């Protein structure tokens, strides 16, 4: 059967870290490619992020609110939407199983993009045992078990940005062994020997790549799309930071993979909230973002993505604003 063409999109988690970029890119295509754009959000967010909600309404977004765990509220919200794009945060990833079952039963919903936008959770045989992947693996299993629902996993690898502890952010000195690019201190701690290749995707590109996937329904149907902005090495990243911050050398140290594994294990043993992040950084440092060929070309995105230079420029801006 031919893949379904997306027209009306309902987004969950639209005011979150990556949701903001995804809805922004979707709204840029509203009118040209898409008709109705709606968000389903919590009543709490209506109050706590009222300015953001008002901005979305002013751009023509329909705002539906309620409890995402309520089957009735979600089924009613689905009316008239053919595609669901979920950007929910990690703590509620498992709620998507019910969202998927309800979408499968609903006559209007034809397609579901689960909240992925990160590490490839089916990269290789060891992926099945990685702790941070378990909830997302259950969500994929729920999608595979549906009768009529098309799905796409947009796999982007780590974000090439400096917000909220992301790969190009500055971590506090006491946590820097987990990797840091600190503009203020001109200081970097690189994971591994600094020469390991890694693919990153800027959050701005995540939004564009999701839209490209929506606009290429046949190519994106029922599969993972492994996409990214650029492939680089930690040493090349720090060299770019040095170039864009006046040319002086930064102070650079390394956390070898064996030490990173130890830190990861200790963090899990202590029940540290950052243990999952260390696991993901270890997976990326082991090459878990690398492919013979990425899927950008399949959805017309081989050339129109950010470069390392773009990402570092933006990271410097973000870090400067934060200080």
Ligand X SMILES: NC(=O)c1ccc[n+]([C@@H]2O[C@H](COP(=O)([O-])OP(=O)(O)OC[C@H]3O[C@@H](n4cnc5c(N)ncnc54)[C@H](OP(=O)(O)O)[C@@H]3O)[C@@H](O)[C@H]2O)c1
Residues noted as catalytic: 136
* Cβ at position 246, least distance to ligand X in Å: 28
Q: Which of 57, 59, 90, 270 binds ligand X (CB under 6 A)?
A: 90
Parallel, antiparallel or unpaired: strands 150-155 and 187-191:
unpaired
Q: CA–CA distance from 84 to each of 48, 78, 207 (Å)?
A: 24, 8, 15
Cβ-count burial 276-297 (b if 16+ within 10 Å, e if not): bbbbbbbbbbbebbbbeebbbe
- Nearer to ligand X by Cβ, of 118 and 196: the residue is 118
207 binds ligand X (CB under 6 A): no
* Cβ at position 280, least distance to ligand X in Å: 7
Instruction: Quote the CA–CA distance of 103 and 82 in Å, as a whole number.
Output: 9
* Cβ at position 67, least distance to ligand X in Å: 9
- Nearer to ligand X by Cβ, of 91 and 246: the residue is 91
CB 73: neighbour CB atoms within 10 A? 15
For residue 160, give the nearest of 24, 305, 14 by alpha carbon.
305
42 binds ligand X (CB under 6 A): yes
13 binds ligand X (CB under 6 A): yes
Q: Which of 38, 118, 178, 217 binds ligand X (CB under 6 A)?
A: 118
Instruction: Quote the CA–CA distance of 242 and 250 in Å, as a whole number.
Output: 6
Instruction: Quote the CA–CA distance of 111 and 45 in Å, as a whole number.
Output: 25
Q: Is the dihedral of CA 37, 133, 70, 88 positive or negative?
A: negative
Residue nearest to ligand X (CB): 16
Per-residue interface string for the shown chain with ligand X, residues 44-63, x marking contact by CB under 6 A: -x------------------
* Cβ at position 75, least distance to ligand X in Å: 17
Stretch of 145-153, 154-162, 177-185, 250-258 contacting ligand X, by CB under 6 A: 154-162
Stretch of 72-80, 83-91, 168-176, 212-220 contacting ligand X, by CB under 6 A: 83-91
* Cβ at position 212, least distance to ligand X in Å: 17
277 binds ligand X (CB under 6 A): no
16 binds ligand X (CB under 6 A): yes
- Nearer to ligand X by Cβ, of 168 and 212: the residue is 168
Stretch of 41-49, 173-181, 207-215, 257-265 contacting ligand X, by CB under 6 A: 41-49
E strand segments, the chain: 9-12, 37-41, 62-65, 83-86, 111-113, 150-155, 180-182, 187-191, 198-200, 223-226, 230-232, 251-255
Stretch of 1-9, 23-31, 37-45, 218-226 contacting ligand X, by CB under 6 A: 37-45
Q: Which of 6, 96, 115, 180 binds ligand X (CB under 6 A)?
A: 115
* Cβ at position 39, least distance to ligand X in Å: 7
- Nearer to ligand X by Cβ, of 48 and 251: the residue is 48
Instruction: Quote the CA–CA distance of 96 and 139 in Å, as a whole number.
Output: 7
And the tokens for 112?
A: 């579901």
- Helical segments of 18-156, H only: 19-28, 43-48, 50-58, 71-78, 96-105, 134-144
Q: Which of 158, 178, 194, 217 binds ligand X (CB under 6 A)?
A: 158
Q: Which of 41, 152, 289, 296 binds ligand X (CB under 6 A)?
A: 41
Report helix, strand or coil for 1: coil
CB 130: neighbour CB atoms within 10 A? 18
Sites of contact with ligand X (CB under 6 A) = 13, 15-19, 41-42, 45, 87-92, 115-118, 156, 158-159, 166
């Amino acid at each position: 059967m031919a893949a379904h063409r997306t027209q009306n999109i309902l987004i969950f988690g639209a005011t979150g870290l990556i949701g903001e970029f995804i809805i922004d890119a979707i709204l840029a295509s509203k009118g040209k490619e898409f008709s109705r754009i709606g968000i389903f959000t919590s009543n709490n967010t209506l109050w706590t992020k009222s300015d953001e909600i008002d901005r979305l309404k002013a751009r023509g977004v329909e705002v539906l609110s309620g409890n995402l765990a309520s089957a009735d509220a979600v089924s009613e919200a689905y009316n008239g939407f053919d595609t669901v794009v979920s950007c929910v945060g990690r703590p509620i990833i498992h709620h998507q199983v019910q969202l998927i079952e309800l979408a499968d039963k609903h006559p209007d919903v034809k397609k579901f993009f689960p909240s992925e936008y990160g590490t490839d959770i089916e990269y290789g045989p060891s992926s099945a045992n990685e702790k941070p992947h378990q909830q997302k693996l259950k969500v994929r299993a729920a999608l595979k078990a549906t009768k009529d629902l098309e799905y796409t996993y947009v796999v982007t690898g780590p974000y090439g940005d400096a917000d909220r502890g992301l790969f190009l952010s500055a971590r506090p000195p006491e946590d820097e062994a987990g990797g840091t690019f600190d503009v203020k201190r001109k200081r970097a701690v690189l994971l591994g020997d600094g020469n390991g290749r890694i693919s990153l995707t800027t959050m701005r590109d995540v939004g564009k790549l999701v839209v490209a996937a929506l606009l290429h329904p046949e190519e994106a149907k029922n599969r993972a799309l492994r996409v990214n902005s650029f492939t680089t090495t930690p040493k090349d990243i720090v060299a770019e930071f040095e170039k864009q911050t006046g040319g002086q050398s930064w102070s650079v140290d390394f956390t070898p993979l064996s030490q990173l594994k130890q830190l990861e294990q200790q963090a899990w043993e202590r029940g540290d909230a950052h243990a999952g992040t260390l696991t993901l950084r270890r997976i990326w440092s082991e090459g878990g973002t690398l492919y013979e060929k990425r899927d950008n070309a399949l959805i017309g995105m081989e050339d129109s993505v950010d470069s390392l230079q773009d990402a570092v420029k933006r990271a410097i801006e973000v870090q400067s604003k934060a200080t």
